[in-house]
Amino acid sequence: LRPETLDLRDTLSDLIHLLNRLVGEKITLTLSHDPVLKPVRADKRQLEQVLMNLVVNARDAMPEGGEVRIETEVVSLTQPLVRDRAILPAGEYVLVKVIDSGVGIAPDKLQKVFEPFYTTKRTGEGTGLGLSTVYGIVKQTGGYIFVDSVEGSGSEFSIFLPVYSRIDEPEPLEQAP
Ligand code: C2E
């Protein structure tokens, strides 16, 4: 693991040509960034692997073509966020969403997609390691990943990565007069 300070605008602009090639011609890939994006601390190669995996899955969910959107946004949690069984500590995160307009994932399968060897693909098509690898990398990076999906209209993967701040100490408390 080689963590470095990353601006996801740079990471994604370095990767966009490859991602465009991966999705092919029937799929439109669009990127949109928070105008005041903040840095994260992550292994660049691993983060690229995460994005490639999610984009390939999105492509496979859209055999007739469609749209993949990658969005970044700074999210500030004023209190811990509880979702699934995870508890995200309060603080600032870069939220990266990978959104597709594909076939979607059935509700009973949604909680299983990050498990090793789980796959909806036919034998021989997927290894089933994709999303559990993604999950493992996100956990190693100190982040969180969630999925929302509506069958027949698409899926949305949300990755929360803690904002990296050079100052490790908490800000001094304001003194009461
Ligand atoms: P779980 O998957 O049964 O994990 C239980 C505990 O094992 C976790 O507590 C964590 O301390 C550790 N653990 C499990 N997998 C990993 C991993 O890949 N890397 C590392 N470093 N530790 C791991 P924690 O973090 O309090 O999570 C509690 C439960 O919340 C987890 O149960 C899981 O069901 C859910 N959860 C945690 N993080 C996420 C996430 O990013 N996305 C989603 N969808 N669920 C999460």
Whole-number mean pLDDT of the chain?
91
pLDDT at 88: 98
d(CA 163, CA 29): 25
Q: How far is the CA of 139 from the centre of ligand 1 (A)?
A: 8
pTM for the complete prediction? 0.89
Q: Is residue 84 lining ligand 1, measured as CB closer than 6 Å? A: yes
Closest CA to ligand 1's atom 40: 144
Which carries the bigger pLDDT value, residue 116 or residue 146? 146
Q: How far is the CA of 140 from the centre of ligand 1 (A)?
A: 11
Q: Which CATH superfamily is domain 3-162 in?
A: Histidine kinase-like ATPase, C-terminal domain (3.30.565.10)
pLDDT digits (tens, 9 = 90+) for 64-90: 999 999 999 999 999 999 999 999 999
Best probe residue, ligand 1, of 115, 129, 139 (max atoms within 8 Å of C-beta) = 139
pLDDT at 111: 85
**End-to-end Cα spacing for the chain:** 47
Closest CA to ligand 1's atom 3: 85
Nearest to residue 159, comparing CAs of 145, 138, 139, 148?
Answer: 145
pLDDT at 40: 97
Whether 128 has a pLDDT exceeding 60, the answer reads: no
Q: Where are the domains of the chain?
A: 3-162
Q: How confident is the model at residue 166 (pLDDT cuts 50, 70, 90)?
A: confident
